[in-house]
């Protein structure tokens, strides 16, 4: 049986994108999980994991491991503390964004297909293949047929 210590420093990935700088660890992958995905993110002050978004087909959870991150949801912003757990359901009501400082564990289903909507920028992502489109470019399914 594999294990992972959330309080250790087994980070194996990072992002240097301005505003989205973090160190991360693929916890689910390290554990050999097939149905549940989990990533540990360490965020500095003001840094975010992802843009404000929601999933159409899966829910996500966040577990605060350390620090005092901020959760932006459809209900506004709220400060979190170690031990807090939030569930972001599938659909617009589950829109969220996590901002540091802190260390959080993001947990979700490992769905084969996922559609993610980014309300602030009017984009929709389709995974796989990892393509993102602007909603204003939407066309009727029969256009061009």
Q: Superfamily assignment of 13-112 in CATH?
A: Jelly Rolls (2.60.120.10)
- CA–CA gap between residue 64 and residue 82 (Å, rounded): 5
- Could you tell me the residue ranges of all domains in the chain? 13-112
Q: Is the predicted pLDDT of residue 9 greater than 80, yes or no? A: no
Confidence bin at 84 (pLDDT 50/70/90): very high
Per-residue confidence (pLDDT) for residue 10, from 0 to 100: 83
Task: Report yes or no: 122 and 137 within 8 Å, Cβ to Cβ.
Answer: no
Instruction: Tell me how crowded residue 20 is: count the other CB atoms within 10 A of its CB.
Output: 14
Give the pLDDT confidence of 33-53 residue by residue, as tens digits.
Answer: 999 999 999 999 999 999 999
For the whole prediction, is pTM greater than 0.85? yes
Per-residue confidence (pLDDT) for residue 112, from 0 to 100: 79
Q: Is the predicted pLDDT of residue 93 greater than 90, yes or no? A: yes
Give the residues across from 117 on adjacent strands. 54, 124
Element (H, E) at 75: none
Give the pLDDT confidence of 97-144 residue by residue, as tens digits.
Answer: 999 999 999 999 987 789 999 999 999 999 888 889 998 888 887 888
**Contacting residues for 24 by C-beta, under 8 A, at least 6 apart:** 11, 12, 13, 14, 15, 39, 40, 41, 42
Mean model confidence pLDDT for the chain: 94
- The torsion angles phi and psi of 144, rounded to 5 degrees, stand at 85, 0
């Amino acid at each position: 049986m594999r294990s992972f210590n959330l309080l250790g420093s087994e980070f194996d990935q990072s992002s240097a994108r301005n505003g989205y700088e973090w160190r991360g660890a693929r916890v689910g992958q390290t554990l050999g999980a097939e149905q549940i995905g989990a990533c540990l993110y360490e965020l500095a002050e003001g840094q975010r994991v992802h843009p404000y978004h929601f999933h159409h087909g899966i829910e996500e959870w966040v577990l605060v491991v350390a620090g005092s991150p901020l959760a932006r949801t459809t209900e506004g912003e709220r400060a979190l503390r170690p031990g807090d757990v939030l569930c972001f359901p599938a659909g617009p009501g589950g829109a969220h964004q996590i901002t540091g400082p802190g260390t959080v564990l993001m947990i979700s289903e490992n769905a084969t297909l996922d559609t993610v909507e980014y309300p602030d920028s009017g984009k929709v992502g389709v995974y796989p293949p990892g393509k993102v489109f602007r909603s204003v470019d939407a066309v009727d399914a029969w256009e061009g047929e």
